[in-house]
């Protein structure tokens, strides 16, 4: 999935690995986390697959930079990926695997567990307050007004998903409290 995120960013324009990482951290990071090392490793794989080209640009007085560009094969892969309709995606949810086995702990520990989930999700939801500014910035910076409605839809999904997690965790904690 990371490879498609990188291809999507490069489809907007040529970027260095550093620029990809910076834009990734200000946009995609809200729903897909990746370390710098993962991004750079993926760039090498994308180049091997022929989906991107990397050109070294010499600079005087500072280190050379490697600029990544999406190739036609990369664009074809991106569009192929975008055409796949799998709304559920990966059904593995580590959170639910843990919850399934929480009966092995005390109710008090599990109430705290669900309260912790709600608290963490509230903190993440608060971080969405800056997302509209970020979208507006990239929309103007990259001149991608046709793309920004989809960015806003993604952010809306993130907000709704976090709110659902908060509601669910609070419900679970309340249910355990009432069973005392």
pLDDT digits (tens, 9 = 90+) for 25-49: 888 877 788 899 999 999 999 999 9
Distance CA 138, CA 23 (A): 9
pLDDT digits (tens, 9 = 90+) for 56-110: 999 999 999 999 999 999 999 999 999 887 766 667 788 998 999 999 999 999 9
Closest CA to 56 of 46, 44, 45, 64: 64
pLDDT value at residue 161: 93
Buried/exposed code over 102-122 (b: 16+ C-beta within 10 A; e: otherwise) = eeeeeeeebbebbeebbeebe
CA Rg value for the chain: 20
């Amino acid at each position: 999935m990371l490879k498609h995120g990188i291809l999507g960013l490069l489809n907007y324009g040529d970027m260095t690995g550093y620029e990809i990482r910076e834009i990734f951290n200000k946009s995609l990071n809200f729903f897909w986390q990746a370390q710098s090392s993962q991004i750079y490793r993926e760039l090498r794989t994308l180049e091997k697959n022929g989906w991107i080209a990397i050109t070294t640009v010499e600079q005087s007085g500072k280190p050379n930079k490697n600029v990544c560009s999406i190739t036609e094969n990369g664009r074809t892969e991106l569009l192929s990926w975008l055409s796949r309709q799998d709304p559920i995606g990966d059904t593995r949810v580590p959170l639910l695997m843990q919850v399934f086995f929480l009966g092995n702990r005390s109710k008090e520990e599990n109430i705290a567990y669900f309260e912790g989930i709600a608290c963490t999700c509230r903190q993440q939801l608060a971080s969405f307050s800056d997302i509209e500014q970020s979208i507006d910035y990239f929309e103007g910076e990259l001149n991608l007004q046709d793309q920004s409605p989809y960015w806003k839809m993604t952010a809306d999904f993130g907000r709704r998903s976090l709110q659902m997690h908060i509601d669910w965790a609070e419900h679970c904690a309340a249910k355990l409290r009432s069973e005392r």
